[in-house]
């Protein structure tokens, strides 16, 4: 039987100019380790890759440190529009939702679309109605609120920026559950973070799966859909090649069909997983100004976590081994 | 200078069991010839491939014979939700809209997203607001109505079908502008037609472009988005490989990222355009139950128009040569 593997990411971006204490960084490492550990537990108990990536992304959505679910960024109208996607490498079954505003865990809605509809992508009110009909938990808009994201939106809105491509002031992130007055800085500058979360997994049966979820970009135009919920752009899984989840400047990943391109280079050019992932992140994406990274895993358990930004929140775990977490390049 | 080429499609599907008169078929051939001729005129006057595919798809949207724009199918709620996409092969610039209900020509909204926003895909009310702000003509829902599509919806709804995969009764199509009492049958059974329109073009400068537009599938769930507006799934253009526009069971084209796969097979496997297009339509798509076809054009002017259904409305024109139109396989 195959040794199960899971990897996750929590977004890529530039590093804040302000130096951080080890304690501040530790919060991110702890969250990543706990979530990848939960995914490992699913796999080690005999769960499928599909179940593991769904659970890992659900936990990433629930964690306010990451831009998905609770803790998602604000649109230009001061709302939250969430996107998610899940794909099974065994049969290319796929489900996705985009522009949903009241689904607590968009990845669970995506899973429901995959398993309970004849469609792949549902958007907006239609997606919300489908989710509610299929027992996916809904919440009011206040659920997605975090003081930190709201302040980030007010700051970005004041600068009339939607796409963020330069360094910004340091960011103080207040935990929802933190005692009053306790805040922390984020290692990766949130104003320059391409906030997406994702997971890829290989189960003991040799099946791959991938999932991606996002709140999009701060101050985004209502109705903007990025790469995250799109098969081939921000999420892809095929047992014959790889499971891939991306994070970055979404439009560039859409134009290059980045995640499918990783698989295509393996299938048709004979690239290894590492070669294919590197080519997409360091050659293809930069041609259209694409910044970010991706996590990729093949059916032999090979893993590639390349990014062309200064950092990418990421972690992986193999079998029963302790999770490995990293933020900056040197730690990879 | 390159000899310009343009090809268009108006959907694929099964052939109605009822035999048709030559006169009935002629209406489709005439519409296809007129529209591809208009695209040729753009190219022959020095227009770009992007301009030619936009104009051809705009005319296909305006023609009530095809399922896009005026003449689009009805959702399960008795409304119209339209999707479109456009992509430039020179720089991979892309624009798309999905689930718009009041944009007269969705392809023009997609073009505006490409040229006047920093995004690639806008959906729903956000897309409509963007279109209106950018001077794209809007219309009331009655604009999209045709008696034929409405009757088709009532018939399909009565059978509780959304995805259509078997033969159905013959279809009498009433032209909006036809004298009272004059109706015609459609050569391809509209109840089993995968209604999409699209165009691919090569201009005298050697640039490729593709565009796709659809009303989706009759009686579809609100919020359902198919492959048409998604880069790589139902539309793709890259000067290095091909311009591709697809029509068929959208979900299968999404799961196989069909249009990008044509390009990937050319780029990485060394396939010719014909080999790549045939592999996708006759090998890859059938693995996930995919039915339909695509039109593909490379920068050398090679053209492939494969489909795995009984027919696909299609046409092409090279330089100043008369347009060639076809519906069934034997006429290809």
**pLDDT per residue over B300-316, tens digit each?**
999 999 999 989 999 99
Report chain B residues whose CB lies below 8 A from the CB of A156: none
Q: Which pLDDT band holds residue B331 (cuts at 50, 70, 90)?
A: very low
DSSP character at residue B281:
I
ipTM of the complex, rounded to two decimals: 0.91
What stretch of H or E contains A112?
helix A106-116
Given the residues B14, B54, B146, B196, select the one marked as catalytic: B196
**What does the pLDDT read at residue B217?**
83
Q: Which pLDDT band holds residue B96 (cuts at 50, 70, 90)?
A: very high
Cut 0.80: pTM above it? yes
CA gap A236, B313 in Å, rounded:
31
Beta strand A311-318 pairing with A208-214: unpaired
Q: Does B153 score more than 90 pLDDT? A: no
Report chain A residues whose CB lies below 8 A from the CB of B129: 222-223
Q: Is A133 exposed, middle or buried (0-12, 13-18, 19+ CB in 10 A)?
A: exposed
Residue B132 near chain A (CB below 8 Å):
no
- Indicate yes or no: CB of B236 within 8 angstroms of CB of A221: no
Residue A12 near chain B (CB below 8 Å):
no
Q: B324 to each of B41, B59, B191, B297, B315, how far by Cα in Å?
A: 15, 17, 26, 15, 5
Please count the helices (runs of H) and the strands (runs of E) in chain A.
9, 16
- Indicate yes or no: CB of B118 within 8 angstroms of CB of A232: no
**What does the pLDDT read at residue A19?**
57
Q: Which pLDDT band holds residue B173 (cuts at 50, 70, 90)?
A: very low
pLDDT (average), residues B122-147: 94
- Residue B131 Cα to chain centre, angstroms: 20
CA gap A119, A211 in Å, rounded:
17
List all residues of chain A from 160 to 189 with a beta carbon under 8 Å from chain B: 162-163
Q: Which pLDDT band holds residue A82 (cuts at 50, 70, 90)?
A: very high
Q: Which pLDDT band holds residue A166 (cuts at 50, 70, 90)?
A: very low
Q: Is A138 a catalytic residue?
A: no
**What does the pLDDT read at residue B20?**
66
Q: Does A100 score more than 90 pLDDT? A: yes
The percentage of residues in chain B with a pLDDT greater than 90, rounded to a whole number, is 70
Question: What's the pLDDT tens digit per position in B57-91?
Answer: 999 999 999 988 888 888 888 889 999 999 999 99
Report chain B residues whose CB lies below 8 A from the CB of A126: 99, 221-224
Average confidence score pLDDT of chain A? 89
If we measure between CA atoms, which residue out of A292, A323, A131 comes closest to residue A212?
Answer: A292
Least confident of A64-68, A160-164, A267-271, B175-179: B175-179
Max avg pLDDT among A52-56, A167-171, B69-73: A52-56
Please give, rounded to a whole number of angstroms, the shortest distance from the CA of B166 to a CA of chain A: 16
**What does the pLDDT read at residue A164?**
35
Cβ–Cβ under 8 Å, residues B140 and B102: yes
Q: Which has more confidence, B180 or B312?
A: B312
Q: Which has more confidence, B268 or A220?
A: B268
C-alpha neighbours within 13 Å on the C-beta side of residue B93: 17
pLDDT (average), residues A206-217: 94
> CATH number of the domain at A5-328, please?
3.60.20.30
**What does the pLDDT read at residue B47?**
98
- Indicate yes or no: CB of B260 within 8 angstroms of CB of A265: no
CA gap B61, B9 in Å, rounded:
12
Q: Which pLDDT band holds residue A172 (cuts at 50, 70, 90)?
A: very low
Q: Which has more confidence, A246 or B162?
A: A246
* Nearest-Cα residue of chain A relative to residue B271: A268
Where do the domains of chain B lie? 5-328
**What does the pLDDT read at residue A179?**
41
Q: Which has more confidence, B187 or B60?
A: B60
Report chain A residues whose CB lies below 8 A from the CB of B260: 232, 257, 260-261, 264
Residue A309 counted as an annotated binding residue: no
Phi, psi of A159 (to 5 degrees): -95, 5
Q: Does B254 score more than 60 pLDDT? A: yes
Question: What's the pLDDT tens digit per position in B43-54?
Answer: 999 999 999 999
Q: Which has more confidence, A188 or B258?
A: B258
**What does the pLDDT read at residue A175?**
37
List all residues of chain A from 33 to 92 with a beta carbon under 8 Å from chain B: 87, 91-92
Q: Which pLDDT band holds residue A152 (cuts at 50, 70, 90)?
A: confident
Cβ–Cβ under 8 Å, residues A217 and A74: no
Q: Which has more confidence, A198 or B175?
A: A198
**What does the pLDDT read at residue A330?**
56
**What does the pLDDT read at residue A171?**
38
Q: Which has more confidence, B296 or A156?
A: B296
If we measure between CA atoms, which residue out of A39, A37, A66, A26 comes closest to residue A243?
Answer: A39
* Nearest-Cα residue of chain A relative to residue B127: A223
Beta strand A235-237 pairing with A224-225: unpaired
Q: Does B182 score more than 50 pLDDT? A: no
Q: Does B321 score more than 80 pLDDT? A: yes
Q: Which pLDDT band holds residue B164 (cuts at 50, 70, 90)?
A: very low
Cβ–Cβ under 8 Å, residues B127 and B97: yes
**What does the pLDDT read at residue A23?**
81
Q: Which pLDDT band holds residue B17 (cuts at 50, 70, 90)?
A: low
């Amino acid at each position: 039987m195959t040794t199960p593997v899971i990897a996750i990411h929590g977004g890529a971006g530039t590093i804040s100019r302000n130096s951080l204490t080890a304690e501040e960084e530790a919060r991110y490492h702890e969250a990543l380790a706990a979530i990848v550990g939960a995914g490992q537990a699913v796999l080690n108990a005999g769960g499928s890759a599909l179940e593991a990536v769904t659970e890992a992304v659900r936990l990433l959505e629930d964690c306010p440190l990451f831009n998905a679910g609770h803790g998602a960024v604000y649109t230009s109208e001061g709302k939250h529009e969430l996107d998610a996607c899940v794909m099974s490498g065994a049969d290319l079954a796929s489900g996705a939702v985009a522009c949903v505003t009241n689904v607590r865990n968009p990845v669970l809605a995506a899973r429901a679309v995959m398993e309970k509809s004849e469609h792949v992508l549902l958007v907006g009110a239609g997606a919300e109605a489908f989710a509610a009909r299929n027992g996916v938990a809904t919440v009011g808009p206040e659920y997605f609120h975090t003081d930190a994201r709201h302040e980030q939106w007010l700051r970005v809105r004041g600068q009339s920026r939607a796409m963020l491509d330069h360094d910004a002031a340091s960011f103080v992130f207040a935990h929802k559950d933190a005692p009053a007055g306790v805040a922390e800085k984020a290692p990766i500058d949130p104003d320059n973070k391409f906030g997406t979360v994702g997971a890829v997994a290989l189960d003991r049966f040799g099946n791959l799966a991938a999932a991606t979820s996002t709140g999009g970009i701060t101050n985004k135009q209502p109705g903007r859909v990025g790469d995250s919920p799109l098969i081939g752009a921000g999420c892809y899984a095929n047992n014959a090649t790889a499971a891939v989840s991306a994070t970055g400047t979404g439009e560039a990943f859409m134009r290059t069909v980045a995640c499918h391109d990783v698989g295509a280079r393996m299938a048709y050019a004979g690239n290894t997983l590492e070669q294919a992932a590197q080519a997409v992140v360091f050659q293809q994406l930069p041609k259209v100004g694409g910044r970010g990274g991706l996590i990729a895993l093949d059916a032999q358990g090979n893993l590639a976590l390349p990014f062309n930004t200064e950092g990418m929140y990421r972690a992986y775990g193999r079998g029963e081994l302790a999770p490995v977490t990293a933020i900056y390049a040197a730690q990879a």
